[in-house]
Amino acid sequence: MGCCHYYAPSEGGDEAFSVDMSAITFGRGVLKEAGDHAAALGISRVALMTDARLAKLEHTATVKRALETAGLDVVLYDEVRVEPTDESFQAASRFASEAGVNGFVSLGGGSVIDTAKAANLYSSYPAEFLTYVNAPIGGGLTIPGPLKPHIACPTTSGTGSECTGIAVFDLLAMKAKTGIVSRRLRPSMALIDPETTRSLPKNVVAASAFDVLSHALESYTAQPYSQRPAPATPSLRPMSQGANPWSDLGCREAVRILGEYMVRAVDDAEDDEARGQLMWAATLAGIAFGNAGCHAPHGMSYSVSGLVRDFRPEGYPAELPIVPHGMSVIVNAPSVFRFTAEACPERHLEGARLLGAETRGATPADAGEVLAGEIIGLMRKTAMPNGLSGVGYGETDVAALTEGSFPQKRLLDNAPREITKPVLSDLYVSALSYW
Ligand SMILES: [Zn+2]
Å from CA of 405 to ligand 1 middle:
15
**Gap from CA of 313 to ligand 1 centroid (Å):** 18
pLDDT, position 2: 45
What distance in angstroms lies between residue 237's CA and the mean position of ligand 1's atoms?
Answer: 22
* Confidence tier at 197 by pLDDT (50, 70, 90): confident
What is the arithmetic mean of pLDDT over 129-134?
Answer: 95
> What is the 429 CA–ligand 1 centroid distance (Å)?
22
Q: How far apart are CA 105 and CA 74, in angstroms?
A: 10
The residue among 135 and 139 whose pLDDT is bigger is 139
Q: What's the CA gap between 364 and 343, in Å, rounded?
A: 10
Residue closest to 244 by CA, chosen among 265, 223, 274, 216: 223
The confidence score (pLDDT) of residue 408 equals 83
Rounded Cα gap, residues 350 and 259, in angstroms: 12
User: 214 alpha carbon to ligand 1 midpoint, in Å?
Assistant: 7
Q: Is the pLDDT of residue 1 over 50?
A: no
Q: Which of 193, 185, 421, 413 is nearest to 299 (CA)?
A: 413
Q: Are 413 and 395 in contact (CB under 8 A)?
A: no
Which range has the worst mean pLDDT, 39-43, 302-306, 362-366? 302-306
pLDDT at 175 > cutoff 80: no
pLDDT at res. 135: 84
Q: Cα dist. 315→138, 200, 282, 322, 328 in Å?
A: 34, 8, 20, 11, 16
* Ligand 1 centroid from CA 305, angstroms: 12
What distance in angstroms lies between residue 74's CA and the mean position of ligand 1's atoms? 30
Cα of 325 vs centre of ligand 1, distance in Å, is: 6
Calculate how far, in angstroms, residue 415's C-alpha sits from the geometric centre of ligand 1. 15
Check whether 87 has a pLDDT greater than 80: yes
Residue 212 C-alpha to ligand 1 middle, in angstroms?
Answer: 7
Distance 361 CA to ligand 1 centre (A): 32
- Spatial separation of the C-alpha atoms in residues 245 and 12, rounded to whole Å: 20
Position 4 confidence tier, pLDDT thresholds 50, 70, 90: low
pLDDT tens digits along 299-351: 999 899 989 999 999 988 888 898 999 999 999 999 999 999 999 999 999 99
pLDDT of residue 5: 85
Ligand 1 centroid from CA 270, angstroms: 25
> How does DSSP assign 136-197, residue by residue?
TTS--PPP-S----EEEEESSSS--GGG-SEEEEEEGGGTEEEEEE-GGGS-SEEEE-GGGG
Please determine, for residue 382, whether its predicted confidence score (pLDDT) is greater than 50: yes
pLDDT over 90 percentage in the chain:
86
Residue 226, phi then psi, degrees to nearest 5: -75, -10
Collapsing DSSP to helix, strand or coil, 191 comes out as: strand
Q: Which residue has the higher pLDDT, 371 or 5?
A: 371
Nearest to 331 by CA among 396, 376, 267: 376
Tell me the CA–centroid distance for residue 98 and ligand 1, in Å.
32
- The pLDDT score that the predictor gives to residue 312 is 94
